[in-house]
Structure 1
Amino acid sequence: MNTKRLGVAGAVLLCALTAALAQTSSTDEIAKYRQMLADGNPAELWEMRGEELWKTKAGPGKVSLERCDLGKGAGIVKGAYVELPRFFKDTGKVMDLEQRLVYCRMTLQGISREEAVKTPFGAAGKQSTIEPLVAYITSESRGMKMATPTAHPLEKRAYETGKQMFYYRGGSHDFACATCHSADGQRIRLQELPNILNKANAQAAYTTWPAYRVSQGEVRTMQHRLNDCFRQQRFPEPMYASEAITAITMFLAKNAEGGVYAGPALKR
């Protein structure tokens, strides 16, 4: 028996077990940290500001967004998010929440598209209007099940387009969304990578966005999350509120169908 070889193999196994335990321990600690802060999620401040913005008259039209139809009728926000993206007859397009908010701000409040998409993502000393609106509207679907419609031909097409984008490889690293999110048990450092093709994983991931990012001190929307994924793939940053982002959001939302919406959540 080669005891030296056994010793090396044992050391390798010990290192692997230690690393696995460290990862599990780190994941548990992150979960505990989130739980500790859950009752005081700063996203609530964004939700309150968003409700105020929703009801405040603004723009050249001097009207509020309370006439904005998010799919359930003018001004109805309760349960709207869990049925987005969806087809809208007035535009003839499938739209996600952020795209629809841009549209309503333009058509109801009379502001230009340039103004409507200005500062979609907040930073220190530079508040976003979109992020609090999204936080408020999504919070009104908390506890409801995801039920994104795909009956309309354009909804089906958006889903299929989003699916193609999920698997499309490119950029300097030849990455796709699927590179990180189509297998169980993958992670980058301490960050678990949900398998979007696994229904439970897809539900857990999608139903917690938007979220307050502790590391950034801001509420981040789904658009921001996807932009960051494209950045990490070394892809060009998508245009804000583009149809491409709506398509991949449709794919993600449909994969999360039946999941109970729990956002805005708290993330590292």
Structure 2
Amino acid sequence: MKRKLMAAAIGVTAAFAAPLAFTSEELNFDAYRQMLADGNPAELFEMEGEELWVTARGPKNATLEQCDLGLGPGVVEGAAAQLPRYFADTGKVQDLESRLMHCMETLQGIPSGEIIGGKFRQGERGKLASLVAYVVTHSKGKPIAVDVSHPKMQDMYAMGEKVFFYRTGAMDFSCASCHGEDGKRIRATHLPNITTNKGAAEGWTSWPAYRVSNSQFWTFQHRLWDCFRQQRTAEPVFASDVTIALSVFLAAKSNGYEAQWPGVKR
């Protein structure tokens, strides 16, 4: 089924891309994104995720229908808009991907190590991405409401802010190097100023997203991993504290803004 969905996604992208041409000196992807908004190919990944949610899998031959994303077992409506959050049952702050990974291990018996040690868009990590697409769709249009009152959430926010401004790697870049000022672009893509609440919301509420340039669906963990790669620094471990801390920082600064999940990117 996944191959069929991928093929369909490529077909949809090609159909949209063929008639579109920009003649201005500055290529603007915003218009392209708007064209795709009503027929986002991410829907194909959402469909696969919905099927995975109700399919018995893993050593325990169980579904994910009892997975608690913070609003009670099985509740997906509005759940992503309130993540990351502190979970008492794990004693940890978890984002959507790490929480789904926890459910896959505890309910289905699928080892977290298989996902952490895997590759994006492949195997169980690829299935996790489809589950993300399914869950976030149920928060589209809902206001971000991340609770940072717990001390561990406050610690994560502080860590995320520190990481955001920390310069590292061969190019001495930080997240703020690209996302610390208004009006910056990379080629056709506008770079939000994440030091502002509006800019943080532009980033947080539009990922995960379907990437038109390569016909792929990228989760936020995938996006963060690629940001570190582009900084020419050590790439983070999947669902590690540093990635979750950055997620808390962006999400909390986005409180009150509406989620646009899943987004459409270049």
2:230 — aligned with what?
Answer: 232
Q: CA deviation at 1:114?
A: 2.5
CA contact (8 A) 2:54 2:65 kept: yes
- Alignment partners' CA distance in 2, 1:263 and 1:253: 13
Q: CA deviation at 1:118?
A: 5.5
- Alignment partners' CA distance in 2, 1:222 and 1:85: 12
CA contact (8 A) 1:105 1:116 kept: no
Question: Is 1:158 aligned to 2:156, yes or no?
Answer: yes
1:89 — aligned with what?
Answer: 88
- Alignment partners' CA distance in 2, 1:201 and 1:164: 18
Alpha-carbon deviations, 1:175-226, whole Å to 9, x = none?
A: 1111111111112222221100122222122111111001121110000111
Would the alpha carbon gap of residues 119 and 212 (structure 1) be closer, same or farther in structure 2, given more than 3 Å must change?
farther
Alpha-carbon deviations, 1:151-172, whole Å to 9, x = none?
A: 1000000000000000111111
1:254 — aligned with what?
Answer: 252
Q: Which amino acid aligns with 1:200?
A: K
- Alignment partners' CA distance in 1, 2:197 and 2:129: 27
TM value normalised by structure 2 = 0.87
What is the total number of aligned residue pairs between the two structures? 243
CA contact (8 A) 1:106 1:116 kept: no
2:44 — aligned with what?
Answer: 45
Which of 183, 187, 206 is the equivalent residue of 1:189?
Answer: 187
Would the alpha carbon gap of residues 118 and 57 (structure 1) be closer, same or farther in structure 2, given more than 3 Å must change?
farther
Q: What SS class does the counterpart of residue 108 from structure 1 fall into? A: helix
TM value normalised by structure 1 = 0.86
Q: Which has the larger radius of gyration?
A: 1
CA contact (8 A) 2:115 2:124 kept: no
What stretches of structure 1 of length at least 5 have no aligned partner?
A: 1-20
1:106 — aligned with what?
Answer: 105
- Alignment partners' CA distance in 2, 1:180 and 1:165: 14
- Alignment partners' CA distance in 1, 2:161 and 2:69: 24
2:32 — aligned with what?
Answer: 33
What is the percentage of aligned positions where both structures have the same residue? Answer: 49
Would the alpha carbon gap of residues 230 and 193 (structure 1) be closer, same or farther in structure 2, given more than 3 Å must change?
same
Q: CA deviation at 1:126?
A: 10
What stretches of structure 2 of length at least 5 have no aligned partner?
A: 1-23
1:200 — aligned with what?
Answer: 198
Moved more, 187-196 or 87-96: 187-196
Q: What SS class does the counterpart of residue 108 from structure 2 fall into? A: coil
CA contact (8 A) 1:145 1:257 kept: yes
- Alignment partners' CA distance in 2, 1:246 and 1:207: 15
- Alignment partners' CA distance in 2, 1:112 and 1:129: 13
Question: Is 1:76 aligned to 2:79, yes or no?
Answer: no
Q: CA deviation at 1:241?
A: 1.0
